[in-house]
Chains A and B, each alone.
Chain A
Amino acid sequence: MSEITLTIDDQPVTLEPGSSVLEACQELGIKIPTLCYHKALGGYGACRLCLVEVEQNGCTDIQASCVYPVQEGLIVRTDTERVLRTRRIMAELLLARCPNVDKVKEVAAELGVTETRFPKKNEDCILCGLCTRVCSELMKSGAVDFRGRGNTREVGPAYDKHSPICMACGACAVVCPTGAVDLSEVSSRPPRPVTSAYDAGLVQRSSIYIPYQQAIPKLPVIDRTTCMHFLKDASLDACRACESACSAKAIDYTQEDEIVELDVGAAILSPGFCLFAANQKLELGYSWAPNVLTSLQFERLQSASGPYEGQILRVSDGEHPHRIAFIQCVGSRDYEHNYCSSVCCMYATKEAIIAKEHEPDLECTIFYMDMRAYGKGFDAYYERAKELGVQYVRCRPSHVEEVPDTQNLKIHYEAEDGTHQTEEFDMVVLSVGLQPPKDAQELADRFGIALDENGFARTAPTSPVSTSRDGVYVCGPFAEPKDIPETVMEAGAAAANVMALLSESRGTEIVEREYPPEKDVSGQPPRIGVFVCHCGKNIGGVVDVPSVVEYAKTLPDVVYAEDNLYTCSSDTQAKMRELMKEHNLNRMVVASCTPRTHEPLFRDTVREAGLNPYLFEMANIRDQCSWVHMHEPEAATVKAKDLVRMAVAKARLLEPLQKGKISINNDALVIGGGMSGMTAALNLADQGFQVHLVEKEEALGGVMRDIRFLQNGYSPAQWLKETVNRTVDHPKINVHLGSELKSVEGSVGNFSSVIAKNGTEETVEHGAVIVAIGAVPGTPTEYLYRKDPRVMTQLEFEQRLAAGEEIGERIIMIQCVGSRDEEHPYCSRVCCTQAIKNALQFKETHPRGEATIIYRDIRTYGHHEAMYTEAREKRVRFVRYEPEAKPEVAVEDGTLYVTVNDPVLGQPLRCEADALVLAPPLLPAEDAEELAKMLKVPLNSDGFFLEAHMKLRPIDFATDGVYLCGMAHSPKLVEESVAQAMGAAARAATLLSKDELELEASISEVVDANCDGCAYCIDPCPYNALTLIEYVRGDQIKKTVQNNPALCKGCGVCMATCPKQGIFVWHFKPEQINAMVDAALEVE
């Protein structure tokens, strides 16, 4: 059928037959007041606010535009005095019926009506019929309808009884303009709010939703468990409201889950974890006291994208809390959960610090059992929290009581002195623990892998990411609760195992994409094509796109400009490629959304059209224009033109760029022959790479040689022996014993290192370096160590125990001897587990023996908590001490006495000891500093190697091609070192498996003519990519800076440092940026 053209306020508009005059007005952007109109339901003509004057055949009439169909030649006026006067009368009538409804008052006020001349009622329903229509027409339920006639007409379920046919979908409440619908009055079913999982249930969402703002891909999904279209019988074809709202017609209800069969050689399971359901601990208030939240909910509260935009507000009354309590170990370290969730101490500390940063007057109290700040940098963070005033109270609260009037919360707990205490807070945060994912058992059954007694995937210390089934690996908290760095390390480890397993088939599935040859545009004047996107209504609904196109045509060097409904659609892409050829374009500008999501697509289009992909520029006129200036169409159009002008200004100066390539040496150098170094070397060798393993001692093994027991009965000696034998025998591993690294030259892909042994030097070439130099146990300087033979370190005790030496029946262990103090402020992480392991071993061989562990916090994180439980069951005594009151050791009459102030008893405890076992810290290797200088990588303040990012890149250095593992990174248990070593091998292999390294194209370039060698740029470069060189020019020595393209990432810090324009970044040249600045400031 042909389209219909009519005129509204002198503007012509063309629509499909059957459309209403209201829709025609909306098409033109003319605002018409409505209360009873809904796009999915169409017009109804109930509220009579959308009145317009229509003229046909010379007669004018007032009509409701929402129900008046468009007709050819119709003339409509929306702004005559008659129209406005009639609408005002309608508004007065509505205001008389519902004088206290905000929405009615608001609409009336927009029409200039604030008072009504008609007798007032006090209704909240305007009888618009939206609820009845949505219920019958869309939801096909018909649970609510009109009842009565005339002035007793009202809306509700049949017989005014709770309706049994109502599905409690809530659509009536959603469409109701006045908020008059109370679902609990309508339905016999309980209302079931659909809450956002991303916002931890704090806010509601609809059944079609974008999971979260930064989701990739950022597309809406339909929740079939709540969507009425899917819940209702298919023959009813219910709802489809989202379909009518989507102008791109992207909703497809027929989509089904697809079953895709993949042919794979290995599988990695990383399903993560689920949080403990806090409503299982009713005594702590969650689910019945509104101001008790879980830690994840609190995290969302603090987020800028959270429910209150980052404001911390109470759920009950929206007030700012002044006192917040955190209760630790909720769903961890109890009878049902014989493990520690490993992350809660630190996340609670972090949440408390951030809360205090928001509001310094806020009081934060953390109720905890042991502060498990065992990770790298964690203790420093814990100390900072204390400095900021976060209070730590050592206890396990028994229950939470709500204060009736204020809905504040009283926490009941037993203080360390045994007294019962209560303390009142405005908000309580439960630090919920990590549990295996909900479908763990099903996943395990499907893959045929074993789970442990807690339901986590079973792994062994000797192979930390391998499951009970060959070829199936796990990483992350599916095997054990863990923090982000460990998760990332294990992810690398799982990948390393797979790469070794499948090394033969590496690269066999890669399909190279072919492009047409690239046209040479050098010397050609710019010929720019500008494509302006409507993005449906997203841009076109605000910005006057055709005028932007016309404007673009006037800009210098623009030879073609057009608008597209969706520039990113595949048919538009094809058309653009043709247009680029047709008009011989050599630059392209797209004015649409954000380059962050769409630049790769358009660059590909440019490349497909035979041009260099860098001859492209984008103007962000949606995310940064139409969407943020929705109510200012004129200003938005001006801004869109400015943004196009700026993009064109840069496009005129764009140059084709090529990504450089360097060849790569595929061998690796591993420094350090302990468990980490050997593991990394073995994995790389198993993947097929040649490895040089350098160890300064005459034997492999490192600290592992002194370890006699492992938890769970694994034999460290056996494991070490097997590993050493495999390393020595491996044809791909070249072991350099008794050797030292003299120098390392070169950079990623091409290093050259000198290894010295017995006065001879050997130079090896390699593409990657793995640092695995470990740590060394410290030597205690107190507690009579080396002054009394009965005093020893844990490692010495372990050896005596293993050798079956006589050590007596009374063992006392002191923890943190030289750790967590001023000299070594960090936690050595392994000592608590080691002490308990040795205490249990001692109990094994000395059933009547007494073992006492004097500690500050027991940090048996993760599954090691079970050892702590076992130790207590086996009557190992645990006595806590404060750093201000350290234990005292003395010999009297030949007897060794240890005195400690027991905070539980509140008095000193004096014990006799046959052996005193000390836990010294693990210290950075002595040669760490020298090696760091050689490799140009940093150390942290404790002297351990500093990774590129504490959480996200725990294996990488900022310098490409150099990787880190084991205790050189920080103290850790051997299974953690091994996982990190495998991860380092995986990181190295991603580099070494290539023959060529493709470099960034947009990197720095030195302008030798401008550079006078002042070297200002060299230190600021975060990647050590710049060096000062000298060469002979004419009869003079010229100083200049050289950029290593293999290291440069194009951040441009050098460019902004240089006082002489001696260095720039391709694609962001000063003249390119300045051209944008000039264009932005140009006055039209």
Chain B
Amino acid sequence: MDETNEFEPKILTFCCNWCSYAGADLAGTSRLQYPPNVRIIRVMCSGMVHPNMVIEALTKGADGVMICGCHPGDCHYLEGNLKAEKRAEAIELLLEDFGLEPERFRLEWISASEGPRFAQVMTEMVETVRELGPSPYAT
């Protein structure tokens, strides 16, 4: 991916269909630019993402993983996002067991109208992980 020698992290982002994925689309329609390191996987709800999926992605070589969902109270499925929030705590503990820095995982609430926020959060995540360097599991 990189012609210079700068490390280009690979970030996977699970976006819920109703808020965050729409926020990502809005970043596009608003032509807000963010680094091209992020790959979005659409899921129906942030509460659908099993902690194992996050850990597996990180141990298979993702340099960072994000889960993005609706703001509390806005979940299309009432409170799937709150379930995701609880699981994020478990994921953070697992990260430690796997020798991964906590910054490699992030849970964020991004609404369908928050295109600027989506671009900003993605930019921040890429910069954070870029500073951390490649995942110890990256090949």
Binary contact track A631-675/B, C-beta < 8 Å → 1, others 0: 110011011001100100000000000000000000000000000
Contacts of B22 in A (CB 8 A): 596
A629 contact set on B, CB distance < 8 A: 33, 36
| Cβ A310 vs Cβ B33 within 8 A | no
Task: From known contacts A1022-B80, A1080-B10, infer whether A1068 and B43 are also in contact, taking CB-CB under 8 Å.
Answer: yes
CA distance A642 to B42 in the complex (A): 14
CA distance A1002 to B33 in the complex (A): 33
Separation in Å of the A351 CB from the closest CB of chain B? Answer: 16
Are A1065 and B29 in touch, CB under 8 angstroms?
A: no
Cβ of A113 within 8 Å of any chain B Cβ, yes or no, is no
Q: Are B77 and A1053 in contact (CB under 8 A)?
A: yes
Alpha-carbon separation in the docked complex, A391 to B133 (Å): 48
Q: Which residues of B contact A1065 (CB under 8 A)?
A: 44, 48
Chain A residue at minimal CB-CB distance from B65: A1077
- Given A305-B26, A628-B33, CB of A1077 within 8 Å of CB of B53: yes
A1070 interface residue (CB < 8 Å to B): yes
CA–CA, A635 and B33, complex, Å = 13
Interface string of B118-138 (1 = CB under 8 A from A): 010000000000000000000
- Give the size category of A's interface with B: 35 or more
Determine if B62 and A1053 form an interchain contact, defined as CB atoms under 8 angstroms apart: no
Question: At the interface, yes or no: B30 with Cβ under 8 Å from chain A?
Answer: yes
Q: Please name all residues of chain A whose beta carbon is closer than 8 Å to the beta carbon of B32 when the two chains form the complex.
A: 628
Tell me, in angstroms, the Cα distance from A1055 to B39 when the chains sit together. 22
CB <8 Å contact, A632 and B114? no
Any B CB within 8 A of the CB of A1057: yes
Residues of A with C-beta under 8 A to B139: 1083
Cα–Cα, bound, A1022→B30 (Å): 34
Known: A623-B24, A627-B28. A1056 touches B50 (CB 8 A): yes
Given A1051-B80, A1053-B77, A1080:B116 Cβ within 8 A:
no
**Cβ contact within 8 Å between A1073 and B53:** yes
Contact between A1053 and B10, CB atoms less than 8 A apart: no
Cross-chain contact of B44 among A214, A1068, A1077 (Cβ < 8 A)? A1068
- Asked whether, in the complex, the Cβ of B12 is within 8 Å of the Cβ of A594, the reply is no
Whether a CB of chain A sits under 8 angstroms from the CB of B27 is: yes
A646 and B41 contacting across the interface, CB-CB below 8 Å = yes
* Chain A CB within 8 A of B40 CB: yes
The distance in angstroms between the C-alpha atoms of A330 and B119, with both chains bound, is: 38
Q: Does B62 lie within 8 Å of A1081, measured CB to CB?
A: yes
Q: Interface residue count for B (Cβ, 8 Å)?
A: 53
B contact residues around A594 at 8 Å (CB): 21, 25, 28
Q: B108 interface residue, CB < 8 Å from A?
A: no
- Also in contact, A635 and B1, with CB within 8 A (given A303-B113, A305-B26, A627-B28): yes
Residues of chain B from 40 to 82 with CB closer than 8 A to chain A in the complex: 40-45, 47-51, 53, 56-57, 60-62, 76-80
Judged by a CB distance under 8 angstroms, whether A102 is at the interface is no
State which of B48, B79, B119 has its C-beta within 8 Å of the C-beta of A1055: B48
Complex CA gap A305/B115 in Å reads 7
Residue of B nearest to A303 (CB): B113
Residue of A nearest to B122 (CB): A628
Chain A residues lying within 8 Å of B50, measured Cβ to Cβ, are 1055-1056, 1058, 1070
CB contacts (< 8 Å) of A1055 on chain B: these are 48, 50
Residues of B within 8 A of A313 (CB): none
Minimum CB distance partner of A538 in chain B: B28
Chain A stretch 1063-1081: residues in CB contact (< 8 A) with chain B: 1065, 1068, 1070, 1073-1074, 1076-1078, 1080-1081
Known: A1074-B53, A1077-B12, A1077-B57. A1068 touches B48 (CB 8 A): yes
Residue A213 at the B interface, CB < 8 A?
yes
- Asked whether B26 lies within 8 Å of A213 as measured between CB atoms, the reply is yes
Given A213-B26, A1080-B10, A1083-B139, does the pair A631, B41 have CB atoms closer than 8 Å?
Answer: no
Asked whether A622 is an interface residue with its Cβ less than 8 Å from the other chain, the reply is yes
B1 touches A638 (CB 8 A): yes
Q: Smallest distance from the beta carbon of A1045 to chain B beta carbons, Å? A: 16
Is A1049 part of the contact surface with B, judged by Cβ < 8 Å?
Answer: yes
- Distance of A630 Cα from B28 Cα, bound (Å): 10
Q: Does A961 contact B (CB under 8 A)?
A: no
| Docked complex Cα distance between A558 and B42 (Å) | 22
Q: In the complex the two chains form, is A1056's CB within 8 Å of B40's CB?
A: no
Determine if A1051 and B48 form an interchain contact, defined as CB atoms under 8 angstroms apart.
Answer: yes
B93-130 residues at the A interface, CB under 8 angstroms: 111-117, 119
Q: With CB as the reference atom, state the residue of chain A lying closest to B30.
A: A213
**Closest CB of chain A to B69's CB: distance in Å?**
11
Whether A596 contacts B39 in the complex (CB less than 8 A), given A1053-B47, A1065-B48, A1078-B60, comes out as: no
Q: How far does the alpha carbon of A631 sit from the alpha carbon of B31 in the complex, in Å?
A: 11
When the two chains form their complex, are residues B41 and A304 in contact, meaning their CB atoms are under 8 A apart? no
Q: Which residues of A contact B116 (CB under 8 A)?
A: 304-305, 309-310
**B36 partner residues in chain A, CB cutoff 8 A:** 625, 628-629, 632, 635-636, 638-639
B26 and A642 contacting across the interface, CB-CB below 8 Å: no
- Give A309 to B50 CA distance when docked, in angstroms: 33
- Within 8 Å of chain B (Cβ to Cβ): is A187? no
Residues of A within 8 A of B1 (CB): 635, 638
> Chain B residues near A958 (CB, 8 Å)?
78
Chain B neighbourhood of A1073, CB < 8 A: 41, 43, 53
A779: Cβ under 8 A from any B Cβ: no
CB pair A628 B119 closer than 8 Å: yes
Q: For the complex formed, measure the closest distance between the CB of A959 and the CB atoms of chain B, giving whole angstroms.
A: 10
- Determine the distance from Cα of A1056 to Cα of B54 in the docked complex, in whole angstroms: 11
Name the B residues within 8 Å of A793 (CB-CB): none
Report the Cα distance A638→B25, complex, angstroms.
Answer: 19
Select which of B45, B60, B80 is within 8 A of A1081 by beta carbon. B60
Contacts of B21 in A (CB 8 A): 594, 596
Rounded to whole angstroms, the CA-CA distance of A1065 and B44 in the bound complex is 10
Assess the B24–A624 pair: CB atoms within 8 A: yes
Contact status B25-A624, CB under 8 Å: yes
In the complex, which residue of chain B has the Cβ closest to the Cβ of A1020? B83
Inter-chain contact B78/A948, CB cutoff 8 Å: yes
Report whether A304 and B40 are in contact in the complex, using a CB–CB cutoff of 8 Å: no
Q: In the complex, are the beta carbons of B77 and A1051 less than 8 A apart?
A: yes
Tell me which residues from 995 to 1032 in chain A have a Cβ below 8 Å from any Cβ of chain B: 1002, 1020, 1022-1023
From 773 to 827 in chain A, residues with beta carbon under 8 angstroms from any chain B beta carbon are none
- Give the distance in Å from the alpha carbon of A1080 to the alpha carbon of B45 in the complex: 20
State in angstroms the CA–CA spacing of A1061 and B48 once bound together: 13
Q: Find the A residue at minimum CB distance from B112.
A: A214
Contact present for B39 and A1052 (CB under 8 Å):
no
Cβ-defined contact, B56 with A1051, below 8 A: no
Q: Is the CB of A628 within 8 A of B31?
A: yes
Chain A: minimal CB distance from B113 (Å): 5
B31 touches A627 (CB 8 A): yes
- Tell whether A595 is near chain B: CB-to-CB under 8 Å: yes
Which residues in B have their C-beta under 8 angstroms from that of A627? 28-29, 31
B25 touches A631 (CB 8 A): no
Whether B43 lies near A1053 (C-beta < 8 A) is no
Shortest A932–chain B CB gap in Å is 16
Partner of B115, one of A304, A643, A1049: A304
Shortest B73–chain A CB gap in Å is 9
What residues of chain B lie closer than 8 Å to A625, measured between beta carbons?
28, 36
Query: CB-CB < 8 A to B61: which residues of A?
Result: 1081
A interface, CB within 8 angstroms of B: 213-214, 218, 303-305, 309-310, 594-596, 620, 622-625, 627-632, 635-636, 638-639, 642-643, 646, 948, 958, 1002, 1020, 1022-1023, 1049-1053, 1055-1058, 1065, 1068, 1070, 1073-1074, 1076-1078, 1080-1081, 1083
A-B contact pairs, 16 of them (CB 8 A): A214-B26, A305-B26, A305-B115, A596-B21, A625-B36, A635-B36, A1002-B44, A1022-B78, A1051-B48, A1052-B45, A1055-B48, A1068-B43, A1068-B48, A1077-B53, A1080-B10, A1081-B61
Q: Would you list the 5 A-B pairs with minimal beta carbon distance, nearest first?
A: A1052-B48, A623-B28, A1051-B77, A627-B28, A635-B36
* Supplied contacts A1052-B44, A1073-B53, 14 more A-B pairs, CB within 8 Å: A305-B26, A305-B30, A596-B22, A623-B29, A624-B25, A635-B36, A646-B41, A1020-B47, A1022-B79, A1051-B48, A1055-B48, A1074-B53, A1077-B60, A1081-B60
